[in-house]
């Protein structure tokens, strides 16, 4: 599903059991991510090189009794990860896990430099810091995401929806990781005020369909935690929710401007980066008091509020 990525490195695969072997995969491919779930009926040893230019990590769902990564069992804390380097893993029978690969150049363009550096250092040490609970939550969210997109792959035909999907993958990972907060020479209040003002200026000129919190933080050189505090202080909401509301308003304008027999609600939603159509309808109704289908059925002129003045 999705676009084709660069070659995924090279590896030597060795079966570890003499009985039947089965490897099942469910994959999602976008321009900057490869995500797949796989399970094993028999054991398998993998040695080789991880893909060039990509940060990879594994989220276990169920581990086999003798599974290991680089000769060690999975620790209680953390997510096994790697930068382009030697790969050495053994998946025991019954193993079920998720593997994600993310382009490093894209990551560096999406987050502030200190966050990118912290993530790469942790991946270089082969472990991204995370709690067991955070790891379980991330794994459950990724499984639901794969199932939903395989059930309705139309999303992959809309670049804005794919860009939003990639951003949510990164944001879900960042929420899971226990990275040290980036340091700054500015005091907290000054940093939040400066970050908020720069963020609003950037939002005014941005393409809403492809806008994400991570990319916004990278543009204004501020951590996501600081920007979160700044938005809650000034607007009483999170930057993610603010961006979502802007996109909902943009979708409403498009629905009202669409002639009869034109685009469908699903097409308009995905054009503006909403890939979960049920959630889009619920959020739209909560904000505007009607379903998007009712808006589309009524031709008129948009008179909603402009959130940015």
pLDDT (0 to 100) of residue 42: 66
22 pLDDT above the threshold of 70 = no
Tell me which residue has tokens 């276990």: 60
Distance CA 79, CA 75 (A): 8
The mean pLDDT value for 263-292 works out to 93
pLDDT confidence of residue 107: 93
Residue 181 confidence (pLDDT):
54
Rg value, the chain, Cα? 21
Q: What is the mean pLDDT of the chain?
A: 81
Of 240, 226, 212, nearest in space to 110 by CA: 212
Contact between 16 and 67 (Cβ < 8 Å): no
Please check whether residue 307 is in contact with residue 249, taking contact to mean a CB–CB distance below 8 angstroms: yes
Confidence of residue 210 (pLDDT cuts 50, 70, 90): confident
Query: Is the pLDDT assigned to residue 124 strictly greater than 70?
Result: yes
Q: What pLDDT does 13 receive?
A: 38
Does residue 236 carry a pLDDT above 80?
Answer: yes
Q: What pLDDT does 141 receive?
A: 92
Q: Look at residues 244, 212, 217 and name the one whose alpha carbon lies nearest to residue 229.
A: 217
| pLDDT in the model for residue 2 | 43
DSSP-H helix ranges across the chain:
104-110, 113-124, 132-151, 159-176, 188-205, 213-220, 224-235, 239-257, 265-271, 277-288, 292-297
Specify the pLDDT at position 114.
Answer: 82
**Which pLDDT band, with edges at 50, 70 and 90, does 43 fall under?**
low
- What's residue 195's pLDDT? 83
What is the three-class DSSP state of 40?
strand
User: What is the model's pLDDT at position 300?
Assistant: 54
Q: What's the confidence (pLDDT) of residue 304?
A: 53
Backbone CA torsion sign across 39, 97, 48, 45: negative
Q: Yes or no: is domain 10-158 CATH 1.20.1740?
A: no
Q: Which residues contact 34 (CB under 8 A, 6 or more apart)?
A: 5, 8, 27, 28, 54, 100, 101
185 backbone φψ class: left, alpha, beta (φ>0; ψ -120 to 50): alpha
What is the pLDDT, as a whole number, of residue 64? 67
DSSP secondary structure letters along 202-220? HHHHS-GGG--HHHHHHHH
Q: Which residue did the predictor score with more confidence, 96 or 74?
A: 96
Residue 225 has a pLDDT of 84
User: Is it the case that residue 134 has pLDDT exceeding 50?
Assistant: yes
CATH fold group of domain 242-297: Arc Repressor Mutant, subunit A (1.10.10)
24-33, 161-170, 216-225, 242-251: segment of lowest average pLDDT = 216-225
Query: What is the average per-residue pLDDT within 21-39?
Result: 82
Domain ranges, ordered by start, for the chain: 10-158, 242-297
Instruction: Flag the least confident range among 5-19, 102-116, 143-157.
Output: 5-19
pLDDT for 142 equals 94
Is residue 16 pLDDT above 50, yes or no? no
One fold for 10-158 and 242-297: no
- pLDDT, one tens digit per residue, over 147-196 is 989 888 888 999 989 988 998 899 899 989 988 655 443 457 777 888 88
């Amino acid at each position: 599903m999705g676009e084709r990525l660069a070659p995924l490195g090279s590896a030597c695969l060795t079966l570890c059991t003499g009985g039947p072997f089965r490897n099942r995969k469910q994959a999602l491919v976008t321009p900057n991510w490869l995500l797949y779930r796989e399970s094993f009926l028999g054991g398998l040893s993998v040695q080789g090189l991880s893909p060039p230019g990509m940060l990879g990590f594994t989220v276990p769902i169920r581990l086999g009794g003798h599974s290991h990564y680089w000769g060690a069992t999975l620790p209680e804390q953390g997510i096994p990860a790697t930068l382009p380097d030697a790969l050495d893993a053994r998946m025991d029978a019954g193993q079920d896990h998720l593997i994600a690969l993310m382009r490093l150049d894209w990551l560096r363009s999406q987050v502030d430099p200190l966050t990118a550096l912290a993530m790469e250092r942790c991946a270089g040490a082969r472990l991204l810091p995370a709690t067991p609970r955070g790891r379980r939550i991330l794994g459950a969210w990724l499984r639901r995401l794969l199932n939903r997109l395989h059930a309705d792959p139309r999303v992959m035909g809309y670049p804005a929806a794919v860009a939003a999907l990639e951003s949510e993958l990164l944001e879900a990972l960042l929420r899971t990781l226990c990275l040290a907060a980036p340091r700054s020479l500015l005091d907290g209040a000054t940093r939040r005020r400066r970050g908020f003002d720069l963020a609003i200026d950037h939002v005014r000129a941005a393409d809403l369909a492809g806008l994400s919190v991570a990319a916004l933080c990278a543009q204004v050189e501020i951590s996501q935690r600081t920007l979160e505090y700044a938005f809650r202080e000034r607007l009483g909401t999170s930057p993610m929710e603010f961006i979502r509301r802007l996109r909902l308003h943009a979708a409403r304008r498009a629905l009202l401007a669409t002639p009869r027999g034109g685009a469908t609600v699903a097409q308009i939603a995905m054009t503006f980066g909403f890939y979960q159509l049920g959630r889009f309808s619920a959020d739209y109704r909560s904000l505007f008091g009607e379903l998007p289908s009712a808006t589309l059925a009524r031709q008129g002129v948009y008179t909603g509020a402009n959130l940015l003045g």
